[in-house]
Structure 1
Amino acid sequence: MENQETTIKNDPYASLRIPEFNYYLVIRFAMVFALAMQFTIIEWKVNALTHDPFALGLIGLAEVIPAVLVAPFAGHIVDKREKRGLLILCVIAYIFMGFGLFLLTWDQAVAGISTRWVLNMIYFLVFLGGVARAFLSPANFSLLALIVPRNLYANGSTWSSSAWQIGGMAGPALGGLFIYLFGIHWSMLIVVGVFLAPLYSLIKIRPKPIHYKAQGESFFDGLTKGMRFVWKTKVVLNAMALDMFAVLFGGAVSMLPVFATDVLHVGSLEFGFLRAAVAVGSLTTMFILAYRPLVNQPGLKLLAAVFGFGLCIIVFGFSKSFILSFFALLVSGVLDGISVIIRQTILQLKTPDDMRGRVAAVSSMFVGSSNELGAFESGLAARLMGLVPSVVFGGCVTLGVVITTYIISPAMRKLDLKP
Structure 2
Amino acid sequence: MSDDFPLGLLFGLLALLILLSAFFSSSETGMMSINRYRLSHHASAGDSRARRVVRLLSRPDRLIGMILIGNNFINNLAASIATIIAIHFFGEVSGPAIATALLTIAILIFSEVTPKTYAAIRPERIAYPASYVLEPLLKLLYPLVWLVNMISNGLLRLVGVKRVDGSSDSLTQEELRTVVHEAGTLIPYRHQAMLLSILDLENVTVNDIMVPRHEVIGIDLDHSLEAILTQIRTSQHTRLPVYKGDINNIVGMLHLRNAARFLSRAEVTKAAIVQEAREPYFIPESTPLHTQMLNFQQQKRRIGIVVDEYGDVKGLVTLEDILEEIVGEFTTDVSEAREIYPQDDGSHIIEGTANIREINKALGWELPTSGPKTLNGLILEHLESFPQGPASLQIGDVRLEIIDIRGNLITAARCWQPARR
Provide the TM-score with structure 1 as the length reference: 0.22
Hey, which of these two has a bigger chunk of helix by percent? 1
The answer to which structure, 1 or 2, has the higher relative contact order (CA under 8 A, 6+ apart) is: 1
Please tell me whether Structure 1 or Structure 2 has the larger radius of gyration of its CA atoms: 2
Provide the TM-score with structure 2 as the length reference: 0.22
Hey, which of these two has a bigger chunk of strand by percent? 2
